Amino acid sequence: MNVLNLLFTKDGLIYQIVKNKSILEEKSYFVTEETPANLIEEKLDEVLIKQRFDEIQVISAWNHFTLMPEGFSDHDAGFDLISFNAPTDKEKEELMLSINKKFNIQFYYTFPKNYYKKIKELAIPVHFNFSGEKFLSSINNKNNKEIHINLYHNQCEFFAIDNKKIILYNNLDVNSEVDFLYFIMFTLSKIGFGINETNFYAYGETTENETFISELQKFVKNLKIVFDNIPNKNFILN
């Protein structure tokens, strides 16, 4: 069975081609000042015609989202709720829903319509998910105060969890590892998590963001690197 895994970030596309659970190919593309503005769309077109896939798994790490309790059913309000966090465009974005039963919450998020249509036009089974839901499903948490941080290229998402209850989730687009640190520490001060009583867990591009990790270690007592992305092993895709 040939499966295509796609991960969309704020400025990038990471894909994996998997056959019978063996990763045959994995590549990343990121928009920079030197690349064409439509690089991601071009690369998506190339990937989708590489071969005949039996299934596609799509994960969006775009920060157009909102978090609601499971069971919230006013789906028509999804765009309006997301617009409190980020600007939305109904003409260009598809409204999506991901539910996490483990913590009884659900995410409304948007996904670019042009990407959505290209993928759906292949007429094969497709599963869409939000990175926050996939991240949360992968977390093993205990009863104490915890901060779980998933690092991307110029982006991070994190959960604050207390006694198995989600206190906060955020997904940040930043260009500086110092900004990562500022947002995390600012969050701690606002939600009343003491540095010494909080356990920190890091995942994803921890080597790429080594400055953030080393600076965080100067402030916190309990930090564990749970998963470090290496070739053919991406935390959110694996």
pLDDT, tens digit, 9 for 90 and up, residues 27-62 = 999 999 999 999 999 999 999 999 999 999 999 999
Q: What is the pLDDT of residues 105-144, one digit of tens each?
A: 999 999 999 999 999 999 999 999 999 999 999 999 887 8
Whole-Å CA distances, 7 to 19, 36, 90, 106, 219: 17, 19, 22, 19, 31
Q: What is the pLDDT of residues 61-76, one digit of tens each?
A: 999 999 999 999 999 8
CB 209 within 8 A of CB 150: no
Task: Note the pTM of the prediction, 2 decimals.
Answer: 0.94
Around Cβ 120, how many Cβ atoms within 10 Å? 14
Give mean pLDDT, residues 206-222: 92
Q: CA angle, corner 219, sides to 209 and 205, nearest 5? A: 15
How confident is the prediction for the chain on average, in pLDDT? 94
Give mean pLDDT, residues 84-108: 94
Q: Are strands 2-8 and 199-204 parallel, antiparallel or unpaired?
A: unpaired
Q: What is the pLDDT of residues 165-209, one digit of tens each?
A: 999 999 988 777 888 888 888 888 899 999 999 999 999 999 999
* Token pair listed for 142: 């205990």
Tell me, what's the pLDDT at 184?
Answer: 87
Helices (H) and strands (E) in the chain, counts: 6, 13
* Token pair listed for 103: 């913590």
Cross-strand pairs, 20: none
Closest CA to 224 of 216, 232, 234: 216
Give the phi and the psi of residue 150 in degrees, each rounded to 5.
-110, 120
pLDDT interval class at 85 (50, 70, 90): confident
* Token pair listed for 132: 């926050």
Whole-Å CA distances, 213 to 10, 171, 231: 21, 17, 20
State the DSSP string of 114-144. Answer: HHHHHHHTT-S-EEEEEHHHHHHHT----SS
Q: Are strands 126-130 and 146-152 parallel, antiparallel or unpaired?
A: unpaired
Q: How many CA atoms lie within 13 A of 229 on its CB side?
A: 21
What 3-state DSSP class applies to 44?
Answer: helix
Strands (DSSP E) found in 22-145? 22-30, 55-60, 65-69, 93-100, 105-112, 126-130
Tell me, what's the pLDDT at 175?
Answer: 74
Q: Residue type at 152?
A: Y
C-alpha span between 57 and 54 (Å, rounded): 10
Tell me, what's the pLDDT at 101?
Answer: 93
